[in-house]
Amino acid sequence: MRVIRVGTRKSQLARIQTDSVVAMLKTLNPGLQFEIIAMSTTGDKILDTALSKIGEKSLFTKELEHALEKNEVDLVVHSLKDLPTVLPPGFTIGAVCKRENPYDAVVFHPKFVGKTLETLPEKSVVGTSSLRRAAQLQRKFPHLQFKSIRGNLNTRLQKLDELQEFSAIILAAAGLQRLGWQNRVGQILHPEECMYAVGQGALGVEVRAKDQDILDLVGMLHHPETLLCCIAERAFLRHLEGGCSVPVAVHTAIQDGQLYLTGGVWSLDGSESMQETMQATIHVPAQHEDGPEDDPQLVGITAQNIPRAAQLAAENLGTSLANLLLNKGAKNILDVARQLNDAH
């Protein structure tokens, strides 16, 4: 019986996410055995610095990719939003699993339960490790102050509850749901308040690009709608050359064969912003279809069983929307945000 080795980060959330992917793979392949190998990444070790300051694109992925490269593991489960839009040579995302709630959630300090961001007292401090959230929310809620908070979800909730420093913190709703902490969610932020990060709420399974057996194994986990939305989002981000160090956010929806992508960029303090929406006609397959075997990657993703035309249409939509924003002056906003972030 073959043993498939699965790499993961050590945090409780990462383990839960990995367990859910392994459970799906076991259901599809009852004859296989799986071994989970947990390891710490740079992002898990450097906890006293804001993510955007560390200046490393593969913060939560590098050590895991190293293990893949050395054949110590066969696949790695990530939050898709942690995976850069350009992967190192030799790696690919072999599965994009069905997206959970992609929105951001607000968790309040016990003394502010029942409040919303709008009704928090003047100068309340809100914790977030994301420039994207801080920029959008500062623009929307100028009476609040935003401060970096690092650590895994357990650590951040502990900091919120035990230190009197934060009135609330912003976290991804999907992570809170996966950990079973829905009861702590005081408010869900909708796109008009805060658009989400590229790939937020979806899990990505990274594999060796040439390992066809493992690609075939994990390829069955692709969720067509999520895959197409995330290809569009990742193409948008890649073309803007965004990353952790600039505020870029998206919102996608598929309705009646149309893929709608809204994307935006912000200055660090949220005072300048630019957003646009575009749509493309897309054929979402009802079930997996067999495609050509030699499909090259799109934005780091290999999906041989999803029609190529739909994937290309999604990628083209993301690139076109980025071009529209760049032509309207988004590059200047992003360049200034990058310089300011580097200088701080």
Query: Which residues are CB-contacts of 146 (< 8 A; sequence separation ≥ 6)?
Result: 125, 126, 127, 128, 133, 134, 137, 138
CA dist list (Å): 67 to 11, 36, 110:
17, 13, 41
318, amino acid identity = G
Q: Render 36-50 in DSSP notation, one character per residue.
A: EEEE--HHHH--SS-
- By DSSP bridging, strand 203-208 and strand 168-172 are unpaired
Rounded Cα–Cα distance for residues 283 and 258 (Å): 8
Q: CB of 132 within 8 A of CB of 248? A: yes
Query: What CA dihedral angle connects 35, 43, 240 and 171, to 10 degrees?
Result: 90
Q: CB of 152 within 8 A of CB of 46? A: no
DSSP single-letter state for residue 196: B
Instruction: Read off φ and ψ for residue 322, nearest 5 degrees.
Output: -60, -45
| Residue 9, SS3 per DSSP | strand
Q: Render 208-259 in DSSP notation, one character per residue.
A: ETT-HHHHHHHHTT--HHHHHHHHHHHHHHHHHT--TTS-EEEEEEEETTEE
Question: In 3D, which of 96, 101, 82, 85 has the Cα closest to residue 203?
Answer: 96
- Active-site positions read 82
DSSP single-letter state for residue 88: P
DSSP single-letter state for residue 298: B
